[in-house]
Amino acid sequence: MKYLVLDDEILAGEYLATLIKEVDERADVTTVSNPIKALELIKETFDVCFIDIQMPGLNGIEFANELKKIYPKINIIFVTGYSNYMGEAFRLDASDYIMKPANVEQIHHALENLRYSVSEATSLEEEKRIQITCFGNFEVLIDGNPVKFKFEKTKELLAYLVHRKGARCSSKEVIANLWEDDGHDSYYRMLKKDLQDVLNNLGCGEIIYSERGKIGLSNLQCIQCDYFKWLENVEEGRKLYHGEYMAQYSWGSETNAFLDMDKYKE
């Protein structure tokens, strides 16, 4: 199980992580002391979040509200030195409210009595509107329907952004990979507009980050993708890979060779 521990006191967070590992020896615990930075991590799926309340910049109740917008059935356990937030905590359907200092018995009780099963807490993947296939030919479905662009090359632009998985790509880099030569600036601008227009019309424009001279994929938590699954969990990803990656695009051949070597290595 994956756990997030958010506490602005580093030692307190590390202590709580130790208690969690005593209860769950196989726990995968991520400890964060900055609530603003923690917001960047919630694109990852956690089974249980242990959250302090009194923190600078963003308190635990506010953080939990943001978390619930994305994962309505996430298990939240507040660990705090203040009792006066208990009402707000349980209005957020918190699994438990532990007063500091926490102990092993409290953590064990909280994990034995989670409000949501782990399958419910992590079921967002099944609900994601955007489904992308990279193994084999590149395909994009939104709400189960293939996405149609004005230009076929627009689909390749999106494929390349998926391939780069959130990296900010310069116009020069994209043009070099899509055409392998210069002189396509005007065409590239048309592709960018087509990509943004189509996604905006489908209510998914937030997955594209674009500024002058830069473009990239954004809000990866909104996307279900076989390649992303491989990057997150190689063993699970191997089950999805069948010998081809972005088969219709030559720039994917190097990654395909790497995936092929990984699948069959001892």
Q: Distance between CA 200 and CA 141 in Å, rounded?
A: 15
Q: pLDDT digit string (tens) for 35-90?
A: 988 887 776 678 999 999 999 988 999 999 988 887 888 899 999 999 999 999 98
pLDDT (0 to 100) of residue 46? 85
Q: pLDDT digit string (tens) for 122-161?
A: 444 445 789 999 999 999 999 889 999 999 999 999 999 9
Given a cut of 90, whether residue 230 has pLDDT beyond it is no
DSSP element (H, E) containing 30: strand 28-32
Strands (E), 88-129: 96-99
pLDDT (0 to 100) of residue 125? 44
Which is more confident, 243 or 18? 18
**Which residues lie across from 224 on neighbouring strands?**
131
| pTM reported for the whole predicted model | 0.54
Q: Distance between CA 122 and CA 46 in Å, rounded?
A: 7
Q: Distance between CA 233 and CA 216 in Å, rounded?
A: 23
Q: Distance between CA 127 and CA 123 in Å, rounded?
A: 7
Q: Are 113 and 119 in contact (CB under 8 A)?
A: no
Given a cut of 90, whether residue 253 has pLDDT beyond it is yes
| Structural domains for the chain | 2-124 (3.40.50.2300), 129-264 (1.10.10.10)
Which is more confident, 242 or 81? 81
Q: Distance between CA 21 and CA 29 in Å, rounded?
A: 8
Hey, is 29 helix, strand or coil? Answer: strand
